[in-house]
Amino acid sequence: MKWPAFVTCLLLFCLFRTNEGSANSQRYRDQCDADIELAKTCSPPMPRHYVAYRKSGDINVDGQLNDAGWDDVPWTEDFVDIRGTDFPAPTKETRVKVVWDDTHVYVGAKLIEDQVWATYTQKDTRIYQENAFEIFFDVDNSMTWYKEIEINALGTTWDLQLSRAYIDGGDWMDWEGIAEKGVYADGGVNDISNPSTFWSNEMSFPIANLVENTTRDNVPPMDGEAWFTIFARPQYETRPNQTSGQYEKVPGTDASWWSWNPTGAVALHLPNKWGLLFFSNETASSANFGNRQMNYPAWPTYKGLFDIFEIMQAFKTLNSMFVSDKRQLRLPPFLTDCFSDMQITLTDDGFEATLVSKSYPSMKGHIDQNRHVWFTDA
């Protein structure tokens, strides 16, 4: 079999890097194997993804996740270090369930914890400065006007929306997104005499609130629809204070950040690094015990747009400007061989890149310097 030239080039690059004799040689080899496979198939692996099934029973939003509406609903995978799976696994397990109906999305989370600690009681406080659970939704997959929700073990919340990521010049504004909330701990909160093994929470979100300022209509999710989503847990080291009888944060320690899908950095506001939340019109009990597999035809285009965005930003960091000449960007084979049309146009504000994937030829994807993504007919 005659391999394309780009595969041969990749093989030579891999041979050079993996013979360096360094501790990184296996990592280079693994990455090269992945790059070769991606260039051959044009099918990039999806990030972590979860299927949210239609709610089949009542849910009393009290934080316990023990109602009929949660029956047979699968958990997400355990959270990982937000920086990636190469870093030590979290010391405490976190998992999430999601269901939906025609008007609401319901999220439940269980956080293993033997020292349940929270002090903030004022709504819209920066809850992440203590132990908490966080949710981010991008309901139209534009990387703009995404929603953020935080909750602690006292049930105190902060819900907000962002015009775009902070790093892209965005800012947050007030938003009311929670219809109901509930928290539960199997022991005491801030009570060293009543230790716990976990705390959990449930929240419901009106779809009408989630679509605010987005291009998505206020309608129930379609079967197979996907939203870019991430769940996260900021976790601080705590200790018992025998004088107060409560827990306290160990002075001088920073948070560990654990998330469902790793973003590659201690940063949640990177929507192109989130996972995918799929919606199924089936109930979990009818879908082979919640085992439905989903496909997202637009994903290769999204991956290409995200790659070109990062390449353009890296070029600007090194050269203090954007460029439209693709030859100067040293594009990887995935971008040069898996897309039938790729254009970069410089604008007054920065750039606009457009891609048409060979596997999704009916739609043209666009991304600009602010990470904003949109689609038009090809």
Per-residue pLDDT tens for 205-227?
A: 999 999 999 999 999 999 999 99
> For residue 302, what pLDDT is reported?
98
> For residue 3, what pLDDT is reported?
42
> For residue 194, what pLDDT is reported?
96
> For residue 1, what pLDDT is reported?
36
Q: How many CB atoms neighbour CB 55 within 10 A? A: 23
Task: Please enumerate in sequence order all residues whose Cβ is within 8 A of that of 296, keeping only pairs 6 or more positions apart, or say none.
Answer: 46, 49, 226, 276, 278
Where residue 65 falls (left for φ over 0; alpha for ψ -120 to 50; beta otherwise) is left
> For residue 290, what pLDDT is reported?
59
d(CA 9, CA 187): 59
d(CA 111, CA 11): 44
Cα of 284 vs its chain's centroid, Å? 22
d(CA 205, CA 100): 9
Residues 193, 199, 205, 211: is their CA dihedral positive or negative?
A: positive
| Average pLDDT for the chain | 92
- Given a cut of 70, the residues of the chain with pLDDT beneath it are 1-32, 287-291
